[in-house]
Amino acid sequence: MILSLKADEKARLFGLPVVNLFQKRANYSSLILIPESIAEKYKTICFENNEINIKVATANPEDEFIISFLENLKVSEKKTLEIYVSTPESIEYALEWYKDENLNPEALNKELKREKEIIEKKINKFSPLESYTSLDTILDHAIFSKASEVHLECIPEYARIFYHVNGLHEIAKIPEPVGSKLVGELKQMSHLRSGHIHQKGDFFKLYKNEFYHIVTTIFPMPVGIKVNIEISDMNEDRFNLSRLGMQEETIKSVLHSLRTDNGLFLVTGNFGSGRTYTMYALLSLFMKKGKKVATVENDIDCFIDGFKQLEVRPLEGKTYISGLKEVIQSGYDSILLDGLRDTQTARYVQTEVSRDKIIVVPFSDQTISGAVYHLEELGFTKDQIARDLKLIINQRLLLKLCPNCRVEKSLSPSDKEDIKKEINNLPKTSNHSNIKLKEYMHSGCPSCNATGFSGHIAIFEALPIDDEIRSLIINGTLDIKEKDILKKKGLISLKQDGLIKVSEGVTTLDEIERVS
């Protein structure tokens, strides 16, 4: 089939080659790199994925979302990326590949099994007793297992090792002397003192040519000791709003709110909902605009290039307000303050945001209006809130289905009606208004350590503060109008975002109910 002139013109314009997908065939490992929903919406599909490079065909090489998505794909896969132009008809033909039942996920898992075997051989060269005596081996295995944390508990009788992979799982039970040896090694690597005291340190580890930041926290107990090891990759794109799970429409409203030189930005949600990463993402966007960014945190989650980061240490006289004053006096104008809990600090924040500072603060309220009332409790007047507040983001964190083994299931009539009702209430301008009603369930494979889940993703709703919202704040009626105002302004609600992700096979209805 001859490619249309339009595709040829785009290819010449962007300096890209053309490809005819009617003459191609993709395997499962290629298709899973781009979710079917994105492939269908943006007319973009991966038709080859080998050890060296990825080949992608698109009918929309000019689309900003696709440019960003493919750049992220290139970084995450650590391969060269070749982009081809194709016709919409050719892409439509290729989309049928997703429905091919002969594509076997087991083929994809062969590479994962091979990597797992390498690590297991590394462990098995020791006796079972010695398997977890090497800190390097434990960290390699934890990173491969996609653990976000490793916990080590030492008591006089024995020591236990846990991984945090979609929940806490006991991995090994070892003699106490071995556990004490590991604690000593961790202290040395993290530049910590040898005493039986609470302390925190960090170091960096190289795994498969990628650096990981390891944060070690020592918790002395009356009998024994506990160690928490946090693992985070050093990929800068982890603070990308899209990667965190924010829908394209929501991102647009957030970006619109960032066009300011001063004001208060709130990120609310329960503890563990991913607020810190969202706030880091906002600061990263301010930094791209030329702002000097800083954080004042009780417990620094991860160290970020370009950020000035101060840790609060009350026993040393380093409080939130002293940290805030320090970074402001040093010329920083966009600041994350992870603790706004007293009226004295609140008054200082009021003064600075009314001048020329941007301050981002997390709250633990469950609703947008609840965050506004929280400000009032801290001494902000309704007029001050209406004047200085620029944006409220509300979020929750969900378990993410493993894309390699998820299985589509039938929706119950009640669930189908619930999803349909919410989807029908989506803004007409939403990219998801015609989404197919589906649900997937977890299964289990080597890729996800047989859990059926792989990582987390957030759901969001965001409310930019405009004149209408200011009026509701001053009148004290935001809580009454909250749901209606989101719909009226064409904004996606928290529940709608969750149900979109359910229909796209990203998470499950059970997860939505768990965080509701």
CATH number at residue 34: 3.30.300.160
Confidence of residue 2 (pLDDT cuts 50, 70, 90): very low
Q: Are residues 251 and 369 in the same domain?
A: yes
Q: Domain boundary at 233, 256, 273, which?
A: 233
Residue 59: the pLDDT is: 92
Rounded mean pLDDT, 466-492:
89
Is 87 contained in some domain?
Answer: yes
Residue with tokens 């040093």, as numbered in its chain: 330
**CB 140 within 8 Å of CB 119:** yes
| Strand 158-164 relative to strand 168-175, pairing | antiparallel
Calculate mean pLDDT across residues 21-48. Answer: 84
Instruction: Give the contacts of 342 (CB within 8 A, at least 6 positions apart).
Output: 378
Give the separation between CA 493 and CA 371, rounded to whole angstroms: 16
Helix (H) or strand (E) holding 57: strand 53-58
Helix H segments across 264-358? 275-288, 320-329, 343-353
User: What percent of the chain is predicted at pLDDT more than 70?
Assistant: 90
List, for residues 309-331, the tens digit of each pLDDT value. 998 888 888 899 999 999 999 99
Reply yes or no on whether the pLDDT at 3 is more than 50. no
What is the band of 347 on the pLDDT scale with cuts at 50, 70, 90? Answer: very high
Residue with tokens 């269908």: 40
pLDDT band at 169 (very low <50, low <70, confident <90, very high): confident
Q: Give the residue among 285, 282, 280, 284 at the shortest CA–CA distance from 297.
A: 280
The verdict on 221 and 241 lying in the same domain is no
Look-up of token digits 């998470």: 507
Predicted confidence (pLDDT) at residue 7 exceeds the cutoff of 70: yes
User: Each residue of 51-85: pLDDT tens digit?
Assistant: 788 999 999 888 877 887 788 778 767 788 999 99
Confidence band, pLDDT 50/70/90 cuts, at residue 479? confident
- CATH value at residue 144: 3.30.450.90
pLDDT at 109 over 70: no
Specify if 366 maps to a domain.
yes
**Range from 118-132, 239-253, 285-299, 500-514 carrying the lowest mean pLDDT:** 118-132
pLDDT over 80 (residue 102): no
Whether 95 has a pLDDT exceeding 80, the answer reads yes
Indicate whether 334 belongs to any domain.
yes
Of the pLDDT bands very low, low, confident and very high (cuts 50, 70, 90), residue 26 is confident
Q: Are residues 359 and 478 in the same domain?
A: yes
pLDDT in tens, 130-142: 445 678 888 988 8
| pLDDT exceeds cutoff 90 at 350 | yes
> By residue range, what is the domain housing residue 255?
237-397+458-492
Question: What pLDDT was estimated at residue 116?
Answer: 54
- Please provide residue 334's backbone torsions phi and psi, each rounded to the nearest 5 degrees: -130, 115
According to the model, what pLDDT value does residue 141 have?
86
> Tens digits of per-residue pLDDT, 261-291?
999 999 999 888 999 999 999 999 999 888 9
User: What mean pLDDT is predicted for residues 195-204?
Assistant: 85
Q: Are residues 302 and 338 in the same domain?
A: yes
| pLDDT at 1 (0 to 100) | 37
Q: Is the pLDDT of residue 15 over 80?
A: yes
Q: Can you give the pLDDT at residue 125?
A: 47
Q: Which of 26-40, 114-128, 373-387, 446-460 has the lowest mean pLDDT?
A: 114-128
Identify whether 501 is part of a domain: no
> Could you give the C-alpha distances from 40 to 6, 35, 44, 297, 492, in angstroms and in order?
19, 9, 7, 42, 21
In this prediction, residues 446-469 reach a mean pLDDT of 88
CB 57 within 8 A of CB 43: no
Examine the domain organization and report whether 335 and 382 are in the same domain: yes
- The most confident of the ranges 101-105, 217-221, 395-399, 499-503 is 395-399
Look-up of token digits 């929501």:
250
The whole-number average pLDDT for the span 20-34 is 81
Higher pLDDT, 73 or 372: 372
Model-wide pTM > 0.85: no
Mean pLDDT of the chain: 84
Across the range 195-211, mean pLDDT stands at 81
Residue 105 has pLDDT above 70, yes or no: no
For residue 479, give the nearest of 492, 469, 464 by alpha carbon: 469
441 assigned to some structural domain: no
Judgement on whether residues 122 and 223 belong to the same structural domain of the protein: yes
Q: Are residues 97 and 118 in the same domain?
A: no
| Residue 329 identity (one-letter amino acid) | Q
Number of domains in the chain: 3
For residues 131 and 217, membership in a common domain is answered with yes
Q: Which pLDDT does position 128 carry in this prediction?
A: 43
* Residue that terminates a domain, selected from 84, 103, 122: 103
- Specify the pLDDT at position 398: 93
User: Residue 108 — pLDDT band, cuts 50, 70, 90?
Assistant: very low
Q: Is the dihedral of CA 446, 186, 226, 298 positive or negative?
A: negative
Residue 451 belongs to a domain? no
Average pLDDT over every residue of 421-435: 74
Top mean pLDDT of 202-206, 429-433, 496-500 is at 496-500
Question: Same domain for 317 and 351?
Answer: yes
Q: Convert 76-105 into a string of H (helix), E (strand) and C (coil).
A: HHCCEEEEEECCHHHHHHHHHHHHCCCCCH
Q: Is residue 138 part of a domain?
A: yes
Considering the domain architecture, whether residues 222 and 288 belong to the same structural domain is answered as no
Q: Which pLDDT belongs to residue 278?
A: 95
Stronger pLDDT, 108 or 334, i.e. the higher one: 334
Contact (CB, 8 A) for 29 and 41: no
**Lowest mean per-residue pLDDT among 95-99, 120-124, 377-381, 395-399:** 120-124
* Confidence (pLDDT) at 433: 63
Residue 513 has pLDDT above 70, yes or no: yes
pLDDT at 126: 42
**Co-location of 122 and 189 in the same domain:** yes
pLDDT at residue 136 in the model: 85
Angle between helices 413-424 and 494-503 (to 10 degrees): 120
Is 280 among the domain residues?
yes
pLDDT of residue 121: 54
Residues 115 and 75 in one domain: no
